[in-house]
């Protein structure tokens, strides 16, 4: 999460723009060159070719294992990402072949050179996804500070009468905090039996007052691989919500960043299937927990669900399969259907090959059978996202055909955090309009 800190704090130096990423490339290329160059004639005829061949074979095997067999990502990794992975592997092999012939000082230098190559390659991959814009975000699991979730739901409350919005009737008290709070909380799968990781809960400044307005709720989800912390750090969600609240008397949606997959590389498809009862978790367990622990507005008109990539697909799924819970949704770079890598693999793994069972909950199929005139939808995708852009267009057209109040937009970027974080920030006013904060 971006925070105001002293200028020049190394934790806030950009890893994706400016001098530092360029410096890492210069130092990394120099380190790679130092590992390549040698005065030993055997190096050029024997060991260097071996390192290159092993790099090629290892990278191809990794490509096969990750993109074709394991398939932890919903789409194959980009060629640019594989180039930098191969560069990092080459640095390791070069150092491995150089070390035995060197003295201890030289061995230390070779290892250091390999580390520099890995740092360069790793940050270039990071630049592609923009997951860690700074060291503060990279080290967030250790640096991120949260507050205790307020106990009790006995504060006096303020609601908007019919025909009015919260912004029109809410008068912020003088001692209202300037910023919202971020807390962690376990949300157990009491009905679903699902075992999620802890959620993150953002409470706007207005929630931390007495009386407090009954604010709407946004259930937010990360992608896969990913975790709820991603929206707090890489997604800059708390600062985006604070910025909106500062301009609207402390009002903003309550945000619960829930976990629909259970671990970084799991994929529950956000469905009730042989894999997990993930839909029940998001449609029943999470709302039940919110109602029990927080004071919020109730009813589908005041509840939204959103997410990025798999989380965006998941938001669409819940909006059409649990419309009684969620009246609006935000789909950022989502897919046209839930997937484990291929349609056949998905249906076989999740439903034992039963196409009818999959079609019963597949959102595009559901929208073809039912109408949703009381559901609002916002779709966002990167202009350079060749994989998800066409899929988003398909889903957007399906949403229009089934009567949804749907809008769609594109942002500069691809399937990365430059799109995800801006997509959320730009849609906060839209979410506030759908859920009763603004007209």
| pLDDT tens-digit map of 320-338 | 999 999 999 999 999 999 9
Q: Which residues pair with 332 in a beta bridge?
A: 308, 380
Query: What is the Cα–Cα distance from 271 to 151, expressed in whole angstroms?
Result: 32
- Predicted confidence at residue 145, as pLDDT, reads 82
Quote the tokens at residue 116.
């520099």
* 102-122 confidence digits (pLDDT tens): 899 999 999 999 999 999 999
Q: What is the mean pLDDT of residues 241-262?
A: 98
Query: What is the Cα–Cα distance from 129 to 279, expressed in whole angstroms?
Result: 28
CATH number of 153-434: 3.40.50.1820
For residue 298, is pLDDT > 60? yes
- Predicted confidence at residue 74, as pLDDT, reads 61
Sorting pLDDT into bands at 50, 70 and 90, what band is 5? very low
Which pTM does this prediction carry?
0.89
Q: Which residues in 215-337 belong to E strands, given as ranges?
A: 217-221, 254-257, 303-308, 328-332
Q: Provide the 3-class DSSP secondary structure of residue 109.
A: helix
* 33-79 confidence digits (pLDDT tens): 999 999 889 899 999 999 999 999 999 999 999 888 887 776 788 89
For residue 4, is pLDDT > 60? no
For residue 357, is pLDDT > 90? yes
Helix (H), strand (E) at residue 410: strand 405-411
Query: What is the Cα–Cα distance from 204 to 251, expressed in whole angstroms?
Result: 6
Query: What is the Cα–Cα distance from 326 to 372, expressed in whole angstroms?
Result: 12
Domain positions in the chain: 10-129, 153-434
Q: What is the mean pLDDT of residues 408-421?
A: 96
For residue 2, is pLDDT > 50? no
For residue 388, is pLDDT > 60? yes
């Amino acid at each position: 999460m971006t925070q105001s800190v002293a200028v020049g704090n190394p934790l806030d130096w950009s890893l994706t723009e400016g001098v530092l990423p360029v410096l890492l490339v210069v130092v990394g290329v120099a380190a790679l060159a130092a590992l390549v160059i040698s005065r030993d004639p055997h190096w050029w005829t024997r060991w260097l070719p071996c390192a290159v061949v092993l790099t090629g074979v290892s990278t191809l095997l990794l490509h096969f294992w990750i993109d074709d067999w394991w398939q932890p990502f919903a789409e194959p990794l980009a060629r640019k990402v594989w180039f930098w992975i191969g560069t990092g592997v080459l640095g390791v092999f070069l150092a491995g072949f150089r070390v035995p012939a060197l003295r201890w000082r030289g061995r230390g230098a070779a290892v250091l050179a390999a580390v520099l190559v890995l740092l360069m390659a790793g940050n270039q991959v990071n630049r592609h996804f923009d997951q860690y814009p700074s060291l503060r975000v990279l080290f967030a699991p250790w640096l991120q500070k949260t507050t205790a979730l307020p106990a009790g739901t006995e504060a006096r409350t303020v609601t908007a009468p019919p025909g009015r919005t919260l912004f029109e009737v809410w008068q912020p008290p003088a001692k209202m905090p300037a910023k919202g709070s971020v807390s962690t909380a376990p949300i157990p799968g009491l009905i679903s039996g699902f075992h999620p990781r802890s959620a993150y809960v953002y409470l706007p400044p207005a929630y931390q007052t007495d009386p407090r307005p009954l604010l709407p709720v946004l259930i937010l989800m990360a992608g896969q691989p990913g975790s709820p912390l991603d929206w707090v750090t890489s997604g800059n969600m708390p600062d985006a919500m604070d910025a909106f609240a500062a301009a609207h008397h402390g009002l903003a949606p309550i945000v619960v960043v829930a976990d629909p997959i259970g671990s970084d590389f799991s994929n529950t498809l956000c469905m009730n299937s042989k894999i997990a009862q993930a839909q029940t978790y998001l449609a029943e367990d999470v709302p039940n927990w919110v109602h029990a622990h927080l004071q919020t507005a109730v009813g589908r008109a005041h509840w939204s669900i959103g997410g990025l990539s798999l989380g965006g697909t998941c938001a669409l799924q819940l909006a059409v399969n649990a419309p009684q819970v969620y009246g609006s949704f935000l789909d950022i770079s989502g897919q046209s259907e839930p997937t484990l890598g291929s349609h056949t693999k998905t249906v076989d793994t999740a439903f034992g090959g039963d196409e009818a069972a999959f079609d019963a909950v597949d959102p595009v199929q559901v929208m073809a059978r039912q109408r949703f005139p009381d559901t609002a939808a916002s779709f966002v995708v990167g202009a350079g996202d060749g994989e998800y852009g066409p899929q988003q267009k398909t889903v957007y057209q399906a949403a229009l055909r089934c009567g949804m109040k749907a809008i769609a937009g594109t942002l500069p970027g691809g399937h990365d955090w430059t799109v995800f974080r801006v997509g959320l920030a730009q849609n906060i006013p839209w979410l506030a309009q759908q859920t009763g904060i603004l007209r």
